[in-house]
Amino acid sequence: MAVHLREQEAEEPVLEVRNVSKRFGHVQALDDVSLKVYRGDIVGLLGDNGAGKSTLIKIIAGNHQCDEGQVFLEGKRVNFSSPAEARAAGIETVYQQSPVCTNATVYENFFIGREPVKSFLGVKTLDVPKMRDDTRKILDDIGVSMPSIDVEMGILSGGQRQAALLGRFLHWGGKIALLDEPFAALGVAESRNALKMVREVSKKGLPIILITHNIEYALQVINKFVILRHGNVVGSGKAQDVTMQDLVATITGAIHLND
């Protein structure tokens, strides 16, 4: 195990969060939180409601800025002021709770914010055939069936919508992916599909941070975990070393887990 650890230390983490703190008025949302994500990792970011998971994700994704501490992407200090900047730097986020543009078709949604364009006499026009072809290919790859890629997101079922969002992040990849509660709206079969997709993506080397309440699903894919409680890291380590009972006990504050 020590050998394994040293191997990892030699490699630079893709994402490092170092001593990050964040307050909202009187509420200490995050207090001196640190974590590292390496290539090929699927890190489960676990914790109860209000533990600070979403705040941490939003700081990494550029929605919020931290009060103290630093965020490093591939060793370089970053300080995003908007999701657009974070995305441009290679951080891909899929939110479950946040709304989608319901008037975008499936293929438009795949490319929102970075549509491919053709340039004609310096005028940039959307490359719709490319958008449609790519979308169809990716959906086939991950085995998702849609009524049509021309329908609007607003009329898809929860599962179809989630699949479209996951497909989008699979396609774009970037340097690291953040998945915020990807299973919340999904049925059993759809969740199984989604887990398969997460594994597929990870095999390609893309590191993932997975936020979820569902420990059972998490343990099927994650290799590391970080547990937040009241804004503090109360446990972290390798998924293979712990049981589900240990994780649940840590989340609820019964015990502390540390590697």
Does the protein bind other proteins through residue 126 (CB under 8 A)?
A: yes
Does the protein bind other proteins through residue 160 (CB under 8 A)?
A: no
Q: What angle do CA 239, 93, 207 make, to 5 degrees?
A: 40
Name beta bridge partners: 43.
Answer: 209, 224
Query: How deeply is 164 buried, as exposed, middle or buried, from its count of CB atoms within 10 A (0-12, 13-18, 19+)?
Result: buried
Does the protein bind other proteins through residue 155 (CB under 8 A)?
A: yes
The helix (H) or strand (E) run that includes residue 78 is strand 76-78
- Among 65, 102, 157, 258, which residue sits at the site for other proteins (rule: CB under 8 A)? 102
- Among 8, 79, 125, 245, which residue sits at the site for other proteins (rule: CB under 8 A)? 125
Does the protein bind other proteins through residue 151 (CB under 8 A)?
A: yes
- Among 27, 77, 81, 112, which residue sits at the site for other proteins (rule: CB under 8 A)? 112
- Among 31, 41, 108, 181, which residue sits at the site for other proteins (rule: CB under 8 A)? 108
Q: At what angle do helices 188-203 and 158-172 cross, to 10 degrees?
A: 0
Tell the smallest beta-carbon distance from residue 88 to other proteins (Å): 7
CA distance 163 to 157: 10
Closest to 38 in 3D by CA, of 70, 15, 72, 5: 15
CA distance 7 to 23: 36
- Among 129, 143, 154, 158, which residue sits at the site for other proteins (rule: CB under 8 A)? 154
Does the protein bind other proteins through residue 75 (CB under 8 A)?
A: no
Does the protein bind other proteins through residue 79 (CB under 8 A)?
A: no
Tell the smallest beta-carbon distance from residue 156 to other proteins (Å): 10
Q: At what angle do helices 158-172 and 128-141 cross, to 10 degrees?
A: 110
Q: Which residues bind other proteins (CB under 8 A)?
A: 63, 82-84, 87-88, 93, 95, 98-104, 108, 112-115, 117, 124-126, 128, 147-148, 150-152, 154-155
